[in-house]
A and B are shown apart, each in its own frame.
Chain A
Amino acid sequence: MRRPLIISAIAHAVVLTWGLVAFAARPNDATPTEPLPVEFVSATEFSKLTAGVKNAPKAIDNAKPLADKIGDPKPVKELAPKVADKPEIKTTSTPAASKPEKVEKPKDKPKPDQIAEALKKDQTKKPPKKPPVFKPDQIARELKKDEPKKQPPKYDANQIAALLDHREPQRQFAAAATLNDTASLGAPGGNAGRLSQSELDALRARLSQCWSPPAGIDANSKLYVTLHVSFKADASLAQEPEVIEDTASTSAVGPALAESAKRALMSCQPFTMLRPEHYDLWKDIEIKFNNELLGG
């Protein structure tokens, strides 16, 4: 029994040693995933995002960069040294503009004439002796003389300066703490699946204008009435609003409150702030008249 025991022990030792080597944990090479920043958008921000404002100032008029820095700007590390520190090459208009003109001005009297006259003289003197010699220079000059004077292209240094981009080439876009919250004209796909806050706000504002609550409703009262309102597609009332829930039982003012709310709805129709493309959403709605509506 001793020999098998020794064999077994040795085998186990070998397996364990192998396991120590083979099952050593490898370093975790997986790159950590970048955390995705998630922000909560409040209802007001959401409605600003999705709802377009018709009379919003045009984006170009008060053009703001992608993001406005508010507060301390974060120091942006310069990636490359600025080249802009180099002495600028000044292109003043005078030398550049005058030089070509000088060149082009044919001031000098053409010499060929003198030579020709000399030749003529020679020819008259000794016609048989010297045959006319072919001179390429002379021909070239003759040709040049015949060419019409070219008008040099107008060169204005000021115009070129206007075309140049004056921003620094090393400029960097940087995201700032706050977004540019200039109201846009609405995102192309900005159709939220519910009435946007702006529509509800507009409806509420209109109703608070129209509503003349009975005496006894003030900022502190807890009275309210909830009406079920059906609209037609043109945003006028389809039928008389029904009272769903009210506080008529708790107060004598209750019925008067309901009546005043109905009157407000009847007198203010049609509610044009409700957009027809959302008709499904505001076809049947419930409106609660209480002191909040009164306040604004």
Chain B
Amino acid sequence: MNAADITTSALPLTSSDLSMFHLFWQAHWLVKTVMTGLMVCSVWVWAIAIDKTLLFRRIRKSGQGFEQAFWSGQSLEELYASLAAKPGHSSGALFVAAMREWKRSFEGHARSFAGLQMRIEKVMNVAIAREVEHMERWLLVLATVGSAGPFIGLFGTIWGIMTSFQSIAASKNTSLAVVAPGIAEALFATAIGLIAAIPATIFYNKFITEVNRQAQHLEGFADEFTAILSRQIDERG
């Protein structure tokens, strides 16, 4: 960017031109890239947030429904028959995985009780891992945007400040009209960085807590169910 460039970009800019659109349009292409990237990040973050909110609401609902049915004394076979097609993403999925393994062990006429409990535990662990992985998907994006967003915005800020100083150097004048466009550009970049980063951080904290709680819940259910199945195995064996 040479001197003439700066003066033409800096001097005609009066206060009436400081709308958001002009701020974006008159920025350096690098700052434009930063701003665009941060805007995309923001869109992505909110999409993830909406998706996860809906997902956790669904999980909580189905989990409550399943556990009510599970502890109501209903036959486990019937419950399995009703759930096998659509296991969902909660303790229901664990139950279906464990029951499938149980059934396979019996239906094969092998009557192999020896490793059954271990197998069921393994299956349930795998199911828990799969569920947690499903819940945690995209949360890394939130974490990244939350931590890197301000820095990316800061990059645009520094570029804007540099523009300001270059305008000062080019026009040998420190009046507000010379400095303001660069500063405004800089602050706009910072603002977009923060706009993207703040919700990302908040949502990340919220969802990671939720994931931990759900994982704990699944572990608890798995232990209980293992205990029940183990009793069954012992009775039959």
- A binding-site residues for B, Cβ under 8 Å: 1, 4-5, 7-9, 11-12, 16, 19-20, 23-25, 27-28
Contacts and interface: CB of A to CB of B under 8 A. Distances in A.
Select the residue from B20, B39, B54 with max chain A CB neighbours within 10 A. Answer: B20
Interface of B is mostly: helix
B14 to A, nearest CB: 8
A19 B20 contact: yes
Contacts of B43: 5, 8-9, 12
A25 B16 contact: yes
Contacts of B50: 4, 7-8
A25 B42 contact: no
B2 interface: no
Interface size class of B (residues with CB under 8 A): 20 to 34
Contacts of B19: 20, 23-25
Nearest to B45: A8
11 contacts: A1-B51, A4-B51, A4-B54, A8-B43, A12-B39, A12-B42, A12-B43, A24-B20, A25-B17, A28-B15, A28-B16
Contacts, number: 48
B232 to A, nearest CB: 40
Contacts of B44: 5, 8
Contacts of B39: 12
A25 B51 contact: no
B49 to A, nearest CB: 8
Interface in B34-70: 39, 42-51, 54
B47 A7 contact: yes
Contacts of A28: 15-16
Interface string B1-36: 000000000000001111111000000000000000
Contacts of A7: 46-47, 50
Given A1-B138, A8-B43, A27-B16, 12 more contacts: A1-B47, A1-B51, A4-B50, A7-B46, A8-B44, A9-B43, A19-B20, A20-B20, A23-B19, A25-B16, A25-B19, A28-B15
Given A1-B51, A20-B21, A8 B16 contact: no
Contacts of B21: 20
Nearest to A12: B43
Select the residue from A12, A16, A19 with max chain B CB neighbours within 10 A. Answer: A12
A1 B50 CA distance: 9
4 tightest A-B CB contacts, nearest first: A4-B50, A8-B46, A8-B47, A25-B18
A19 B23 CA distance: 12
A147 B16 CA distance: 88
Nearest to B54: A4
A9 B50 CA distance: 12
A18 to B, nearest CB: 10
Select the residue from A8, A16, A23, A28 with max chain B CB neighbours within 10 A. Answer: A8
B20 A5 contact: no
A28 to B, nearest CB: 5
Contact of B15 (A4, A11, A25): A25
B23 to A, nearest CB: 9
Contacts of A23: 19-20
A16 B19 CA distance: 12
Select the residue from A11, A24, A25, A27 with max chain B CB neighbours within 10 A. Answer: A25
A114 to B, nearest CB: 99
A107 B58 CA distance: 130
Contacts of B16: 25, 27-28
B10 to A, nearest CB: 16
B99 to A, nearest CB: 30
A11 B17 CA distance: 26
A20 B46 CA distance: 20
A237 B200 CA distance: 86
A27 B42 CA distance: 31
Contacts of A9: 43, 47
A24 B21 CA distance: 9
